Amino acid sequence: MAEYNSQPLILAAQEFAKLPGIGLKTAQRLAYYILNAPEEEVEQFATGILEARRSMRICRCCQNICSDDECEICSSVRRDKSVICVVESPKDVSAIERSGGFSGVYHVLHGLLSPVNGIGPEQIKIRELMARLSSAEEVIMATSPTVEGEATASYISRMIKQMGIKVTRLAYGLPAGASLEYADDITLQRALENRNEI
């Protein structure tokens, strides 16, 4: 039942299969596409990826991915530097920016505390956060409402509160458009606890 595939197809498929979420079948499909594409196009693809990786910098202030020493948000005069929103990853910055509801600056932790996986405070960008709090008036903990997100938020907020800076957490509740019927118990409990007067 060994599969017959030509050597170039196997080589290209092996590379694609290294990417997360790309299974064997998809890798073969992509490999097949690459082998049928003009060589210049494949060159452009390969160098494009490599250039993107090489041009990547980490913002010295918020630790987000950027192409300079400082990111666009940190260097913008229109952003409120006294409010810092702490998130797990650059994807979260992108999500909050998309919502349009935030005018402060960010801090990207590049991970969450996870003792089981050997990720302690030294493995994520907590030290860098502490070092930039001198002018901060509020720190919003915007990690996900998961076990690790909660643990990271409470660990960091304890340290920041000791410095006398206000720390807040994203609100819990029902997501917009959700059906009450299908909400899980914890979400419903929290939505009740955090109910607002209308």
Strand, helix or coil at 43?
Answer: helix
Strand, coil or helix: what is 107? Answer: strand
Evaluate whether 194 touches 172 at the Cβ level (below 8 Å): yes
- Residue 78 interacting with a copy of itself (CB under 8 A): no
DSSP state of 137: S
Q: Which residue has the tokens 């919003």?
A: 140
Q: Does 75 bind a copy of itself (CB under 8 A)?
A: no
x/- map, 3-22, a copy of itself, by CB under 8 A = xxxxxxx-xx-xxx-xxxxx
How many residues contact a copy of itself, by CB under 8 A?
61
Pairing verdict, β 166-169 and 138-141: parallel
Identify residue 48 by its one-letter amino acid code: G
Q: Output the CA–CA distances (angstroms, integers) from residue 96 to 31, 49, 142, 150, 167, in the order listed.
A: 35, 26, 9, 18, 18
Considering only residues 82 to 111 of the shown chain, the ones binding a copy of itself according to CB under 8 A are 89-91, 93-94, 97-98, 100
Nearer to a copy of itself, 33 or 172 (CB): 33
Which of these segments, 44-52, 118-126, 165-173, 188-196, binds a copy of itself (CB under 8 A)? 44-52
181 binds a copy of itself (CB under 8 A): no
**Residues of the shown chain interacting with a copy of itself in the complex, contacts defined by CB under 8 A:** 1-9, 11-12, 14-16, 18-22, 26, 28-35, 37, 39, 42-57, 64-67, 71-73, 89-91, 93-94, 97-98, 100
